[in-house]
Amino acid sequence: MVSSAADRFGDAEAIVDGPLRYTFRDVVDRIRCAAGAFADLGIAKGDRVALWAPNSAEWIIAAFGLLTAGGVLVPVNTRFKPEEAGDIITRSAAKAVLVHKGFLGQDFTAPAGIPVIDLKSDFLSSGSPFERSVSGTDIADIIFTSGTTGRPKGAMMNHYQTLRMYEEWATLADLREGDRYLQINPYFHTFGLKAGLISSFLRGATMLPLAVFDVDSVVNLIDQERITMLPGPPTMYHSLLTVSDKTKLATLRAGVTGAADIPVELVRRIHDELPFQTLMTGYGLTEAGNVTLSRPGDSFEDVATTAGLPCEDVEVRIADDGEVLVRGYGVMQGYLDDPVATANAIDSDGWLHTGDLGNFDDAGRLRIDGRKKDMFIVGGFNAYPAEIEGFMLEHPAVAQVAVVGVPDERLGQVGKAFVVTKAPVSESDLMSWCRERMAGFKAPRYVEFLSELPLNATGKVMKDQLR
């Protein structure tokens, strides 16, 4: 896909990142040299490399350079603290970690013995043009996602799955050759990496990476770079609706949202007050990519209240307990080095148990009702109570803790922790402690102290009562 982009799109603009402007031909040359740099570093076919950095031109060149060298990409969330990232880097057996030093004051370090390479150094340009052949069934990437056990698990996807899946996504999202695609969704996330970069290489869209969302910067970029394609979480569209001079948004044509409940009124306002001609939504997960997507012509009500229809050759059914099950070519190859978790997730008939609860409307569109695993979504990022609770139990004053998602006007949901203490601690001190040890979206925004947590007969916390 990448090497053919030079022939397919040639001198069309491929990447615009601040002063950097690369054509598809430029980018493919740089990717092939990056592949040579990885080979010189000793990266063999199937070796894993972690990429822990914000969206940038260098991220794109590094990721596809690694894949061109036959390596396996392990993206790491830029919001992770060193302890969280170190766990993923160690368990993925990464041979190196690429970082953007100094970004947001973050300390991008790696466990001892693993080389750390600055993306902004001359490493990516240091190799001679190189490529290794890969097969569609070879693992392309391992994206870590948290689960109910609280420890992130690495979902393995192959090249074929990704290419097929995001060809369909690009069609239904109305992504066209020559589109100018402002990429706000982080590349460490499936939405940013695959719906963003893969789809752009498939279609010949110009990629404009954005490292940090700031509404004024976004509006200026839309205006100056004539942006046509702008996916993002509902919070982004809320921000655009507050823009006073909407003539600066005139070039926007296609939007895509998801990852949180969308009020019907928000969809109506997007159509009425912003220039988008299409707005797609859908349901997916790291372990299966796209599961359902809305279709052109769907009503405001359909886009807001359902996640669309199943994708081609993807089966979706609802289990007796209401859980959404998925089967088809898009289901992951399994969790890295975790056969037990893989067997728990994918049953003997090939059905992936998503942990989400849902139902179908009369037209066969999927509605997501809630989360069996209690996951909640903070501004587009999945937050898992079990993982947050595990961190909080390390605090010397915390005896018991239960975390739930509560509504938030700006972010959709945020975390609230119910805590039973064994020593005195203030709400502000506990929240500060959390912010120092976990990504901002995971850290609870509220703490309520209780003398005891409500338990059922088997000793499990009754989170419904806490909600």
Domains observed in the chain: 2-355 (3.40.50.12780), 376-466 (3.30.300.30)
What 8-state DSSP symbol labels residue 237? H
Kindly report, residue by residue over 101-146, the tens digit of the pLDDT. 888 788 788 999 999 999 999 999 999 999 999 999 999 999 998 5
Res 13: pLDDT: 98
Judged by DSSP in three states, 337 sits in coil
What pLDDT score does 143 carry?
Answer: 97
- Which is more confident, 261 or 57? 57
Q: What is the mean pLDDT of residues 51-80?
A: 96
What integer pLDDT is reported at residue 311 of this predicted model? 97
Helices 24-41, 2-9: inter-axial angle, 10-degree rounding: 160
* Cβ–Cβ under 8 Å, residues 274 and 230: no
Q: How much is the pLDDT for 369?
A: 76
Instruction: Give the burial class of 381: count Cβ atoms within 10 A of its Cβ; 0-12 exposed, 13-18 middle, 19 or more buried.
Output: buried
> Is pLDDT above 80 for 372?
no
* pTM, rounded to two decimals: 0.84
Contacts of 212 (CB under 8 A, 6+ apart): 54, 104
Supply the pLDDT for residue 148: 41
Mean pLDDT comparison of 32-41, 382-391, 396-405, highest-scoring range: 32-41
147 has pLDDT over 50 = no
Instruction: Find the distance separating the first CA and the last CA of the chain, reported in whole Å.
Output: 47
φ and ψ at 94, to 5 degrees? Answer: -65, 135
Predicted local distance difference test score (pLDDT) of residue 245: 95
d(CA 119, CA 58): 6
Q: Calculate the alpha carbon distances from 267 to 29, 127, 334, 397, 407 in Å.
A: 41, 48, 36, 45, 19
pLDDT digits (tens, 9 = 90+) for 451-465: 999 976 545 688 878
Do 48 and 24 touch, CB atoms closer than 8 A? Answer: no
407 contacts 446 by C-beta, under 8 angstroms: no
Mean per-residue pLDDT, 135-158: 86
Mean pLDDT of the chain: 93
Average pLDDT (256-274) is 82
Mean pLDDT score, 372-396: 85
Per-residue model confidence (pLDDT) at position 456: 63
Q: Is the pLDDT confidence value at 37 over 80? A: yes
With cut-offs at 50, 70 and 90, classify the pLDDT of residue 149.
very low
The Cα 467–Cα 462 span in angstroms is 9
Average pLDDT rounded to a whole number, residues 253-261: 80
Q: Is 220 left (phi over 0), alpha (psi -120 to 50) or beta?
A: alpha
Among 120, 119, 126, smallest CA distance to 96 is for 119
Give the pLDDT mean for 406-428. Answer: 94
Q: Which of 411, 379, 410, 404 is nearest to 467 (CA)?
A: 404
Band of pLDDT at residue 181, cut at 50, 70 and 90: very high
299-337 pLDDT tens trace = 988 998 899 999 999 999 999 988 999 999 999 999 999
Q: Are residues 243 and 215 in contact, defined by beta-carbon separation less than 8 angstroms?
A: yes
Distance between CA 299 and CA 297 in Å, rounded?
6
Instruction: Determine what percent of the chain is predicted with pLDDT higher than 90.
Output: 78
- Band of the pLDDT at 150, cuts 50, 70, 90? low
CA-to-CA dists, residue 414 to 98, 379, 405, angstroms = 30, 8, 5
pLDDT on residue 259:
56
The pLDDT value given to residue 459:
58
Contacts by residues 340-343 (CB-CB < 8 Å, ≥ 24 positions apart)? 341/147, 341/149, 341/153
Structure tokens at 389: 């609770």
Place of tokens 């975790």: 338
